[in-house]
């Protein structure tokens, strides 16, 4: 009973947040996208609320959750006065021949069934997660938050160095919030949260592609992610990499949604606000998320400067006000992170040996070794069988470019693409940031690469698939779904 | 609503089929390697049970020391820390109370430590001899 109420309130908070920033109709694709986004935003809100209460010396109880939900609902009702009436009409997916569409549907259905089967079996088989990081970092921090009472801060001590006490607390906070509402610990909570993030990430990818580029492109994109064994394995192992990939993907999707609203000449700032909040939640999930947030803001700043210089009209995303909105919507979460890093957590382990950093920067052999690992992992990180998924996605992208319908002289949809470009630049900077971290790592670089690079690639993989297939849709002339406006 | 008239390029259709088949290979790996029937040993839950009695004998918060066999993996320390949270285990014997964790070998204690209580399974509560 209580567990159901807590889950409902968590989802309800996410739904209220997403609905506040949302504009549009009630197509199946939109409903699906809202549903999956709400699950992740709800968990982010649950975690943040728990930490705020802990910081104020209060204990989380369902009554406070109900109050927070009511406040968010009021915010949603008030925001409806600002929403324009424009409705994004989902893109059609009609230009594939019937036999191909049938094969694609069957393939997607099989991959979905396989992914769900494996995810559920793994959740049952490893109810306490898989791998040392689960109990050495994530669930340990959740226990400190839940069991620690007023003394919860002691758990984030330098006395337990390998537990990475500087890691952000979205996942432990969400787990501790549920435990607090239930009044006891149960291994079911982290297991279910892992499963929810895994399913929601795939769901956001599929439904966003369906909305923006049609059902066929959505099935191609969904297939690429669902058939990535490591994605399912990591998602159910209760690490924070898949939750991070969810929030990075949500940011990217919201910025591309803003592009679509610009194409309607009905730009809606709510998409940017939701993107900023998702980027904030990414930063609250892992330190790599903080790098992504900084990369995103930098990329947006670059685009703003570029937009002003070239005097582009209509690309309102590149205006300084959009940059400010993105920053402002991430700011509440950013302030919590700064408070945590400044007053609770000891310094991170990557930056404690500053004296040797310069020497490492000037060691070319490190760059060569890391570049070699990056190249190798590009083909191996998904634990694919025989054919790397990265190669398959790259292959279909190139094939579409060479043989796609646009080469028959069909109309190729174009429109504002600033959000798309910002995302590509932000993800590229994030990837470069990962490279630099390996250059300066105080640990043995090969050991560090071996145990983390595949997970870092997975963090960006859903977003990379999304951007690839959004681009395919444009090149294939399927981007026209957002041209229709119903008022 | 713009539509793309005409047939779908045959070469692209083949590329899509190759893509689908390539993806399904890995989906097959997912199904074949999914754990079924046998539930793997759960070290974290076993560790919680192993330290349950010791946990009741320790203070509910603060910092205590920790000592284990140098041959054991650092993972045993984290399993102990996980089980005993929110108590913080300092990997040091410079504390009035020290948790001894020897899951795979007979305890070899430093001379300045005495056993206050043996909880079995290699779990010990220790104290420094010069402490009151």
What are A298-329's pLDDT values in tens digits?
A: 999 988 777 665 555 445 544 667 889 999 99
Q: For residues A340 and A344, give the distance between their C-alpha atoms in angstroms, rounded to a whole number.
A: 5
Query: Which conformational region is residue A383 in: left (phi greater than 0), alpha (psi within -120 to 50 degrees), or beta?
Result: left
- Specify the range with the lowest mean pLDDT, choosing from A134-148, A252-266, B36-50: B36-50
Least confident among A103-112, A280-289, B70-79: B70-79
Chain A contact set for B34 (CB, 8 A): 117-118, 121-122
In chain B, what residues touch A159 (CB-CB under 8 Å)?
63, 88-91
Do the Cβ atoms of B4 and A410 come within 8 Å? yes
Q: What is the pLDDT of residue A87?
A: 58
H or E, element range at A399:
helix A389-403
Q: What's the CA gap between A223 and A403, in Å, rounded?
A: 21
Whether pLDDT at B66 is above 80? yes
- For residue A140, the Cα-to-chain-centroid distance in whole angstroms is 23
Residues of B in contact with A157 (CB under 8 A): 63, 88
**Residue A373 CB contacts under 8 Å (≥ 6 apart), including other chains:** A438, A446, A449, A453
Q: What pLDDT is stored for residue A318 in this prediction?
A: 47
* Residue B3, min C-alpha distance to chain A (Å): 8
Are A139 and A128 contacting, i.e. CB atoms less than 8 angstroms apart? yes
Tokens of A28: 């199946």
Closest CA to A146 of A174, A112, A179: A179
B44 confidence band (pLDDT: 50, 70, 90):
confident
How many Cα atoms within 13 Å fall on the side-chain side of residue A108?
19
Going by C-beta distance under 8 Å and a sequence separation of 6 or more, which residues neighbour residue A412?
A: A406, A474, A475, A477
Nearest-angstrom CA–CA distance, A410 and A212: 19
How many C-beta atoms lie closer than 10 Å to residue A383's C-beta?
Answer: 20
Alpha-carbon distance B71 to nearest alpha carbon in chain A (angstroms):
18
Task: Please tell me whether residue A462 adopts helix, strand or coil conformation.
Answer: helix
Q: Compute the count of residue pairs across chains A and B with CB atoms less than 8 Å apart.
A: 203
Q: Is A195 helix (H, G, I), strand (E, B) or coil?
A: helix
Q: Is A270 or B2 the better-scoring residue by pLDDT?
A: A270
Q: Could you tell me what percent of chain A has a pLDDT over 90?
A: 67
pLDDT at A481: 44
- Report the pLDDT value the prediction gives residue A472, as an integer from 0 to 100: 84
The answer to whether B81 contacts A163, with C-beta atoms less than 8 Å apart, is yes
A111/B13 touch (CB, cutoff 8 Å), yes or no? no
Q: What is the mean pLDDT of residues A357-370?
A: 89
Contact yes or no for B27 and A135 at CB 8 A? no
Percent of chain A topping pLDDT 70 = 88
User: Quick one: average pLDDT of A262-274?
Assistant: 84
Checking if the pLDDT of A370 tops 90, the result is yes
Q: A-chain residues within 8 Å CB-CB of B45? A: 128, 187
**3-state class of B118 per DSSP?**
strand
Q: Round to whole Å and give the CA distance between A6 and A58.
A: 18
Residue A197: the pLDDT is 98
For the CA atoms of chain B, what is the radius of gyration? 27
CA angle, B103 as apex, B97 and B107 as ends, to 5°? 60
Q: Which residues on A lie below 8 Å from B72 (Cβ)? A: none
- B123-128 and B97-101 strand pairing: antiparallel
Q: What is the number of residues in chain B?
A: 132
Which of B5, B19, B61 would best serve as a mutation to test chain A binding (most A beta carbons within 10 A)?
Answer: B19
Option in A135, A387, A481 nearest B25 (CB): A387
* Dihedral (CA of B52, B55, B56, B61) sign: negative
Kindly compute the dihedral angle of the four CA atoms of residues A293, A294, A298, A300, in this order, to the nearest 10 degrees: 10
Residues in contact with A104: Cβ distance below 8 Å, sequence separation at least 6, in sequence order: A96, A216, A219, A220, A223, B16, B20
Whether A94 sits inside 8 A of B11 (CB atoms) is: no
For residue B34, what pLDDT is reported?
93
What is the rounded distance in angstroms from the CA atom of residue B132 to the CA atom of residue B130? 7
β partners of residue B127: B97, B114
A52 and A145 Cβ atoms separated by less than 8 Å: no
A165/A344 Cα distance (integer angstroms):
9
Task: Indicate which of A159, A218, A483 best probes the interface with B, i.e. most B CBs within 10 Å of its own CB.
Answer: A159
Q: Which residues of A202-240 are buried (b: 16+ CB within 10 A; e: fewer)?
A: bbbbbbbbbbbbbbbbbbbbbbbbbbbbbbbbbbbbbbb
pLDDT of amino acid B2: 41
Phi, psi of A486 (to 5 degrees): -115, 130
* Chain B residues within an 8 Å CB radius of A205: none
In terms of Cβ atoms closer than 10 Å to its own Cβ (0-12, 13-18, 19+), residue A260 is: buried
Residues A466, A468, A473, A474: what is their CA dihedral angle, to the nearest 10 degrees? 120
Binned at pLDDT 50, 70 and 90, residue B105 comes out as confident
- The mean-pLDDT minimum among A85-99, A140-154, A271-285 falls in A85-99
Question: Per-residue pLDDT for A85 more than 60?
Answer: no
- What lies within 8 Å, CB to CB, of B37 at 6+ separation is none
Question: Would the CB atoms of B26 and A147 count as touching at under 8 Å?
Answer: no
CA distance B58 to B60: 6
More confident residue, A486 or B97: B97
Q: Helix, strand, coil shares of chain A as percentages rounded to 5? A: 75, 0, 20
Name beta bridge partners: B88.
B63
Q: Answer for the pair A19, A76: CB distance below 8 angstroms, yes or no.
A: yes
Task: Provide the 8-state DSSP code for A317.
Answer: G
- Note if the bond before B86 is cis, omega within 30 degrees: yes
- The answer, yes or no, to whether residue A480 has pLDDT greater than 90, is no
Find chain A residues with C-beta within 8 A of B27's C-beta.
110-111, 114-115, 226-227
What ipTM does this complex have? 0.90
pLDDT on residue A313: 46
Residue B8 CA to residue A100 CA, distance in Å, equals 9
Work out the angle between the directed axes of helices A28-55 and A62-79 (0-180°, nearest 10).
Answer: 130
Closest by Cβ to B86, choosing from A152, A163, A187: A152
A476 has pLDDT over 70? no
Exposed e or buried b per residue across B26-44, where buried means at least 16 C-beta atoms within 10 angstroms of its C-beta? bbbbbeeebeeeeeeebbb
Q: How far is A225 from chain B (nearest CA, A)?
A: 9
Contact A114 B2 (CB under 8 A): no
Strand duo B88-90 + B97-101: pairing:
unpaired
Taking only the tens place, the pLDDT of each residue in A33-42 is 999 999 999 9
Which range (A209-223, A236-250, A333-347, B41-55) has the least confidence? B41-55
Torsion, Cα A159 A164 A168 A173, to 10 degrees, reads -70
Q: Which long-range contacts (CB under 8 A, 24 or more apart) does B70-77 make?
A: B71/B104, B71/B105, B72/B101, B72/B102, B72/B103, B72/B104, B72/B105, B74/A162, B75/A132, B75/A136, B76/B101, B76/B103, B77/B101
Mutate to test the interface with B, among A133, A396, A484 (most CBs of B within 10 A): A396
Cα–Cα distance for residue pair A381/A386, rounded to 1 Å:
13
Average pLDDT over residues B40-65: 89
Contacts 24+ apart (CB under 8 A), B37-46: B39/A124, B39/A125, B40/A125, B40/A126, B42/A126, B42/A127, B42/A128, B43/B79, B44/A128, B44/A129, B44/A134, B44/A135, B44/A139, B44/B79, B44/B82, B45/A128, B45/A187
> Which residues of A are less than 8 Å from B79 in CB distance?
135
């Amino acid at each position: 009973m209580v567990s159901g109420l807590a889950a409902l309130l968590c989802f309800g908070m996410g739904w209220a947040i997403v609905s506040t920033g949302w504009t549009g109709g009630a197509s199946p694709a939109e409903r699906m996208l809202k549903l999956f986004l709400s699950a992740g935003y709800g968990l982010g809100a649950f975690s943040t609320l728990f930490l705020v209460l802990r910081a104020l010396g209060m204990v989380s109880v369902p009554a406070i959750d109900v109050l927070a939900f009511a406040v968010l609902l009021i915010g949603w009702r008030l925001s409806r006065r600002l929403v324009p009436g424009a409705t994004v009409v989902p893109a059609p997916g009609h230009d594939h021949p019937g036999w191909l569409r049938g094969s694609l549907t069957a393939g997607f259905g099989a991959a979905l069934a396989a992914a769900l089967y494996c995810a559920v079996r793994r959740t049952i088989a490893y109810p306490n997660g898989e791998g040392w990081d689960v109990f050495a970092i994530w669930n340990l921090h959740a226990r400190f938050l839940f069991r620690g009472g007023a003394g919860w801060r002691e758990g984030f001590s330098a006395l337990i160095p390998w537990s990475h006490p500087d890691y952000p607390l979205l996942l432990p906070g969400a787990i501790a919030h549920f435990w607090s509402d239930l009044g006891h610990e149960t291994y079911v909570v982290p297991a279910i949260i892992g499963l929810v993030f895994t399913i929601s990430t795939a769901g956001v990818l599929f439904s966003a592609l369906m909305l923006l580029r049609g059902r066929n492109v959505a099935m191609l994109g969904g297939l690429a992610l669902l058939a990535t064994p490591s994605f399912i394995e990591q998602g159910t192992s209760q690490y924070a990499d898949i939750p991070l990939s969810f929030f990075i993907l949500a940011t990217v999707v919201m910025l591309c949604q803003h592009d679509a609203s610009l194409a309607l000449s009905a730009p809606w700032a709510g998409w940017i606000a939701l993107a900023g909040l998702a980027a904030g939640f990414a930063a609250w999930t892992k330190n790599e998320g903080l790098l992504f947030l900084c990369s995103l803001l930098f990329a947006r700043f670059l685009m703003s400067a570029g937009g002003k210089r070239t005097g582009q009209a209509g690309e309102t995303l590149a205006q300084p006000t959009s940059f400010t909105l993105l920053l402002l919507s991430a700011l509440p979460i950013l302030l919590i992170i700064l408070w945590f890093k400044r007053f609770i957590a000891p310094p991170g382990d990557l930056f404690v040996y500053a004296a040797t950093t310069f020497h490492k920067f000037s060691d070319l052999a490190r760059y060569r070794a890391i570049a070699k690992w990056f190249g190798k992992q590009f083909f191996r990180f998904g634990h694919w069988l025989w054919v790397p998924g990265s190669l398959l996605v790259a292959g279909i992208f190139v094939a579409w470019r060479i043989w796609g319908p646009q080469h028959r002289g069909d109309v190729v949809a174009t429109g504002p693409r600033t959000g798309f470009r910002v995302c590509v630049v932000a993800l590229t900077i994030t990837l470069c940031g990962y490279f630099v971290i390996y250059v300066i790592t105080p640990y043995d670089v090969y050991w560090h690469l071996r145990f983390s690079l595949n997970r870092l690639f997975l963090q960006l993989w859903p977003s990379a698939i999304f951007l690839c297939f959004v681009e395919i849709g444009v090149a294939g002339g399927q981007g026209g779904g957002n041209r229709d406006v119903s008022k | 609503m713009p539509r793309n008239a005409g047939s779908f390029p045959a070469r692209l259709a083949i590329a899509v089929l190759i893509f689908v088949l390539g993806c399904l290979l890995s989906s097959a790996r997912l199904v074949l390697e999914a754990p079924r029937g046998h539930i793997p040993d759960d070290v974290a839950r076993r560790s919680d049970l192993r330290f349950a009695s010791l946990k009741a004998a320790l203070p509910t918060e603060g910092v205590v020391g920790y000592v284990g066999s140098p041959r054991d993996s650092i993972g045993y320390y984290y399993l102990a820390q996980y089980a005993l949270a929110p108590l913080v285990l300092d990997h040091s014997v410079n504390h009035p109370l020290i948790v001894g964790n020897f899951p795979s070998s007979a305890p070899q204690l430093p001379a300045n430590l005495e056993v206050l209580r043996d909880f079995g399974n290699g779990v010990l509560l220790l104290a420094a001899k010069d402490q009151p």
